[in-house]
Amino acid sequence: MKGQRDVHLALSSGSALGLAHVGVIKALLDSGYNIRAISGSSMGAIAATFFAFGFTPEEMVSIAQDTGNKITLFLKAAIGSRGGPGITVESIVNKYIGNASIKDANIPLYVYSTDLITGKPYIFQPDDKVDIALKASSAIPGIFPHVKYKNMLLVDGGVASPVPTSIFHDKEDALLVAVNIYGGIKDCTWNPPPFTMSPVLAPIFSSMRSYAILMANVTSYITVHTDIMLTPPLCGFSSWDFTQAKQIFETAYTYTLDILSKQNK
């Protein structure tokens, strides 16, 4: 018998739009649900990890706002990963979580990446370090370099597992709740800011937009067996602008509260 308030939560990839995961987490907690285990790909992995290590939703939004001040976190990280003066995923992890391993999390944590050699997902193991796990899980192809690890070439978890539910398929002691960020942007029209057309930035933003279109179409055809599937409506928000953290959070929070209230009737 599934605990009606116990949840296994799977968080999709989604770049800055993945901040919606934080709003979903808060809505679940405020509605009385107990998140017993959590998985994530890419930005979903980052949100999952910070929650699993005890950060509140409000603290996660504050971190995103502080880090993304003036110039977006995405641009800082993209430049930093190429050796330029930017912020890397590892530096963020080391600042807030420290030199921790997956097993140090407060609840079971499953971080997904994709091995380019086998084409299959790699779920980081308990002894794997958190900074390597999140660096690999969020390594969007064409934007961030792949990560060499244990004879693998690892990239973004969303490539093989955009909605990472597989780890929970044989666990029936809790509700399986999944968040598919791309389901909420499939029919959105992109309004690119003028600076995204500059010679330096255009390839990055073209790759980013192309990846979002691909994932939106792929996930619409994926059959994911869940008890609750959440697709926060995120048209009007950008997948690269982390300065919108608060608004994305609030949109997902309100949406999820509404879905859960209907679920419980």
Active-site positions read 42, 156
Say how many C-beta atoms besides its own lie within 10 A of residue 145's C-beta.
14
Bridge-based pairing of strands 174-179 and 3-11 is parallel
Beta bridge partners of 114: 121, 155
**Amino acid letter for position 185:** I
Q: Crossing angle for the helix pair 130-137 and 89-96, nearest 10 degrees?
A: 140
**What is d(CA 233, CA 256) in angstroms, rounded to the nearest whole number?**
10
Those residues with Cβ within 8 angstroms of residue 137's Cβ, 6 or more apart along the chain or in another chain? 40, 41, 42, 45, 46, 111, 112, 113, 124, 154, 156, 157
Q: Do residues 24 and 234 make contact, with C-beta atoms less than 8 angstroms apart? A: no
